Amino acid sequence: MSDHIHLEATIPGATPEQIYELLANGAKFGDVTGQPGKGGGAQGACFSLFGDWLEGRQVELVPGERISQAWRFTDWAPGVYSIVRFT
């Protein structure tokens, strides 16, 4: 089964580079959201967000352009992931 959700959002005043940096760096994401995050700075790297409630791996990182991540919430069944792409 393959379900797709498409959502577009614009963040006023933020550059693509700033958004990329937040999404590629768990600690910086945590600083902005107020929820602890860590890891994720390189392609293939693991990360966690929201105090370890979400865990994932960086699948593709193209600085300032695109990020693909495999995400899973810790209460999901083992091995179940969602692929998320940011452009």
Question: Measured between alpha carbons, how far is residue 32 from residues 27, 38, 77, 80 in Å?
Answer: 9, 13, 29, 27
Q: pLDDT per residue over 68-87, tens digit each?
A: 999 999 999 999 999 999 98
Q: What tokens appear for 22 in the block?
A: 């937040």
Q: Which CATH class is domain 16-86?
A: alpha beta
If you average pLDDT over every residue of the chain, what do you get?
91
Q: pLDDT per residue over 3-20, tens digit each?
A: 788 888 888 998 989 989
Q: State the pLDDT at residue 1.
A: 53
Residue 34 pLDDT more than 60?
A: yes
